[in-house]
Chain A
Amino acid sequence: MAEQKGLPSDDLKSISDRIIQLSQADHCRVNIDSGWRGYTRVATNRITSAGGADSTNVNITSVFGKRVASINTNSLDSSELEAAVRQSEIMARLAPESPEYVPELGVQSYQPVQAYYDSTGELDPLTRAEAAAIAIQQAQASDQIAASYMDVQAGTSTVATSNGLYGSHSNTGVAYTLTSRTVDGLQSGWAGDEANDWNNIESQRIANDAVRKCASWRKTRLDPGKYTAILEPTAVGMLMLRMRNAFNQRTADEGRSYFSKPGGGNRIGEQLFDDRVNIYSDPTYADAEVSPFTSEGQARGRQSWINSGRVEDLARSRFWADQLDQQVLPGPSNLIMAGGDNSLEEMIASTERGVLLTRFWYIRGLNPRIISYTGLTRDGTFLIEDGKVSRPVTNFRFNQSLVEMLQNVEMMGPAVRVAASENSSVSTPIVVPALKVRDFNLSSVSDAI
């Protein structure tokens, strides 16, 4: 087994122990992130940047009564660490009391999560360059221009408190995405994968898919309007990444969320979505694994948010749970939307008139009262007529409530891990199906390619 990236576990524990030993505060918490990031970026059919760096960051939180402050440093020698501890204590003494401070946690138990894959941790610059070369060669062979990015991260996060808690979690992640465009700039296609395990990144398939999609997408006119839309998994994932933020009980209880009940309270328990909608988080989900604890050291387990269209629960911070005398419920770590058994081909074949969407861009919130977002389609938008993809069409802006989208589900595909981040970096693991939905609001034409 290869040596893991980042400082060895014993060193991380020693640093934590030393800081807690140095602490003169009533309470102290130490969070350390230690790891490595490597990347290779391609544009105009050449590698434009590639690099890597090891880094270790230490965050120290000091508490006097209810006065709290934290400091982050990457200077690890003994005197610098001691200076950081003293500085955090000076800041904490100066800080006004925080009425919402909840005492640091003591010893916790966490479920085991194996999220570190040597295949990813040992991914070297030459292997990354070889994957880039596949894309460049494939694009050149079709008179296209490749732009790609591979982001690789590996390391360990720890949490420790002066009440005896210690947790350590190692993780890897790799995201690889490719945009291929024609030389005249009039066509564009995209494909991408994200995984914890490099073995699940299919460089050749990504090159094939992006180049094929580019070759098939040369836009033609289509009027904006509400369409039956088939969203490929990446498009669904980019929206669900935003939906995650709404699962918060406090904002609901405070009257500033879709999940607020008019007149007070929240809508936990209400049937608000299509009964095929099931959304949950699970730190152990295969190849979408995440840490089994939060930065405060709170344990995370499998948690349902939407169960058969009904709001199962909303996240509660330790303070809010205390106020309500309820269980703490950490927010979504990864997000999994259970899939169905409809293939993309079946969705297309069942559609008399609709659009097929590859992915989105520049998604921004519009109205939190209905969880609506705006954004634009990108890198492959097609018209479906009489059960077949009839022609590529222009890109569109959408203005769409995600609530309505999840109420208008017609068909679902199998759930898969997607590269849901717009910048294609390793991000929150998102596992979602392709969806066929009614009345997706494509509000205006975008001339962009």
Chain B
Amino acid sequence: MRLSTVAAAAGILLPSPMPVAAQSMTSTEQELLLHAIDAARSAGADYADGRIIRTQFEAIGAREEMITQVQSSDAYGINVRALVGGSWGFSATQTMTRDAVADMAREAVMIANANNEVAPSETILAPVDVFPDADWVTPHSVDPFDISLEDKAALLLRINEEALRVNNIRFSSSSILSVKEERLLATSEGSMVRQTLFRINPSINITAISPDGSDFQTRGAVVEPAGRGYEYVMGLELASRAEGWAEEAAMKLEAPPVDPGKWDLVLHPSNLWLTIHEAIGHPTELDRALGFEANYAGTSFIYPPEDVIGKLQLGPEFMQFVGNRTEFGGCATTGWDDEGVPAETWPIIEDGIFVDYQTTREQAAWISQYTGITRSHGCSYGQNWETMPFQRMPNVSMLPGEEDLSEDDIIGNTDRGILVEGRGSYSIDQQRYNIQFGGQVFWEIRNGRKFQMLRDVAYVGRTPEFWNALDSIGGASTYYLGASFGDAKGQPIQVNAVSHGCPISLFRDIDIINTA
């Protein structure tokens, strides 16, 4: 009750609007996909699913007064994942003929057979409702691919021009990356799901050089990617704000270095979202916790499930985190996942206590005896037509406080602290204990007020102690959705886009180092 009440007050996690654009996948493509699924089943697959995916990118970039990049890409193909015994096999092809896709499906079954013979295993898929004719489109009002390159170029050049007006600013680069994914999913259980996903990533990086050439400082990460249309970029007012970001870059040249030691830390959501990604999002991935990422992304300190679910106190009682694939503007927001599981929202940390992981159909049964949940949370995703779907992070967000504290209220509660804005250098160990995060802009807080800019700041700590040092959080008016297009995991490595919302937050007595 409490979670949903707070979420509704914040205006987030609302049910997704209805589709607003037509899907482009045709009945011919549906038939081809079903043909592949049939071929896999005929070859001996106990279960099969497949996808036809078209991924389009468009990137335009500018540096100072020139356009440096105009590029688009279009990748299109079909894949099948087949289950034989308890083993998976996967294959994909970009040759969209009936013979080629049938061969591809049989190869997936052949690989599954080979794996099952060498190392047999058991796989139980969680139950899922069948959706024989489902549609979903990212809510948007302007398709980014409908905006001309000229208009985008003009915006970028104006941003750079505004930034370069400021003293000591020597370089300014800016770019807009637009993504459109058209995905058709079919399962041997009878689901057929058509989706079109939009994401957009405006980016600006400004460099100041000291007059004597002895130092340089940058200001980047000024705005966030989003799972939205081009109306999002138009609403950011990038050109009119560029001068302000440039002034911050120039100020960093003059800012005194931080004194290392214990400081109170006010994390603006533009910085905190990445800490959430690394220190809540990743350790609550179930595959990671159970060793499936041991050879790359690592394992998790939130382990073993029977000892931590409903028991591990990770923060104060007012600390609430949800996983969701429903949040408006979220980069991981969707209608259904890559296994045909409908998007949902669920608690991950409730009243400061860890209560659940992120799951796929294969994983749900592994912990259902501790969570009481037998269905998948819908976290399956494959990056494109040639990649096998697996468990990927949904949006993982911290809910704002019940009391609507403002940024000024939070800073006002800080006698000696540092306000950190924007994501900077970030690194965390393979079990998500040891954190070291930087930022873009650092403000010393004295007696409840921003006093002066500092530089070369990073905060370090041990994750459980860090979250338990959370003192207070802002209300719904401070809620902000940060995001990354580059969440990497898996072998072969796959990239996932994901968002994290949070309010401004105050942490007490955090170790600060000087990175110079």
Contact = CB atoms under 8 A, between A and B. Distances in A.
A113 B119 CA distance: 39
A111 B189 CA distance: 55
B513 A443 contact: yes
Given A132-B119, A179-B294, A397-B427, A445 B388 contact: no
Interface string B114-125: 110111110000
Given A95-B70, A98-B68, A256-B209, A132 B118 contact: yes
A74 to B, nearest CB: 5
A430 interface: no
Interface stretch (B89-97, B133-141, B235-243, B497-505): B89-97
A255 B119 contact: no
Contacts of A92: 70
Contacts of B290: 44
A275 interface: no
A75 interface: yes
Given A48-B292, A49-B390, A74-B76, A185 B299 contact: yes
A328 to B, nearest CB: 18
Given A39-B491, A51-B89, A57-B75, A376 B430 contact: yes
A75 B94 CA distance: 8
B291 A70 contact: no
Nearest to B63: A100
Nearest to A41: B491
A366 B515 CA distance: 7
B340 interface: no
A422 B490 CA distance: 11
Nearest to B57: A72
A372 B425 CA distance: 11
A55 B72 contact: no
B108 interface: yes
Interface stretch (B211-219, B265-273, B319-327): B211-219
Interface string A241-278: 00000000000001110001011100000000000000
B429 A53 contact: no
Interface in A328-371: 361-367, 369
Interface string B62-81: 00011110111111110100
Contacts of A447: 301, 429, 431, 433-434, 462
B148 interface: yes
B403 interface: no
Contact of B431 (A48, A95, A367, A448): A448
A54 B88 CA distance: 19
B170 interface: yes
A91 B74 CA distance: 14
Contact of B171 (A46, A57, A254): A254
Given A91-B149, A95-B67, A262-B214, A53 B115 contact: no
B75 A151 contact: no
B430 A369 contact: no
B118 A133 contact: yes
Contact of B295 (A74, A149, A362): A149
B216 A147 contact: no
A178 B57 CA distance: 34
Interface in B424-458: 425-434, 436, 438, 456, 458
Given A43-B291, A254-B171, A362 B157 contact: no
Contact of A448 (B117, B215, B296, B298): B298
B93 A53 contact: yes
A15 interface: no
Contacts of A40: 115
A364 B436 CA distance: 10
Nearest to A378: B430
Nearest to B80: A51
| Chain B contact surface mostly | mixed
B516 interface: yes
A68 B430 CA distance: 43
Residue from B74, B91, B108 whose CB has the most chain A CB atoms within 10 Å? B74
A73 interface: yes
Interface in B261-294: 287, 290-294
A32 interface: no
Interface string A434-449: 0000000001111111
A423 B67 CA distance: 33
Contacts of A51: 89-92, 108, 111, 388
B107 interface: yes
B401 to A, nearest CB: 30
A136 interface: yes
A238 B93 CA distance: 33
B446 to A, nearest CB: 26
B115 A47 contact: yes
Nearest to B456: A367
A295 to B, nearest CB: 12
Nearest to A54: B93
A72 B91 contact: no
Contacts of A362: 427-430
Contacts of B299: 181, 185, 449
Given A44-B291, A98-B66, A149-B491, A125 B114 contact: yes
A151 to B, nearest CB: 6
Interface of A: 37, 39-57, 68-76, 84, 87, 91-92, 94-100, 125-126, 129-130, 132-133, 136, 145, 147-149, 151, 177-179, 181, 185, 188, 190, 254-256, 260, 262-264, 361-367, 369, 372, 374-376, 378, 395, 397, 399, 422-425, 443-449
21 contacts: A42-B119, A50-B112, A53-B91, A70-B71, A72-B72, A74-B74, A100-B66, A100-B68, A256-B207, A262-B213, A361-B298, A364-B425, A364-B426, A366-B515, A369-B215, A397-B434, A397-B436, A399-B436, A444-B436, A446-B434, A448-B431
Given A70-B70, A179-B294, 6 more contacts: A42-B119, A50-B111, A72-B73, A98-B66, A423-B296, A424-B296
Interface of B: 57, 65-68, 70-77, 79, 86-94, 107-108, 110-112, 114-115, 117-121, 148-150, 153, 157, 170-171, 207, 209, 212-216, 287, 290-296, 298-299, 301, 303, 386, 388, 390, 425-434, 436, 438, 456, 458, 460, 462, 488, 491-493, 513, 515-516
Which A-B residue pairs are the 4 nearest by beta carbons? A51-B90, A72-B73, A448-B431, A147-B294
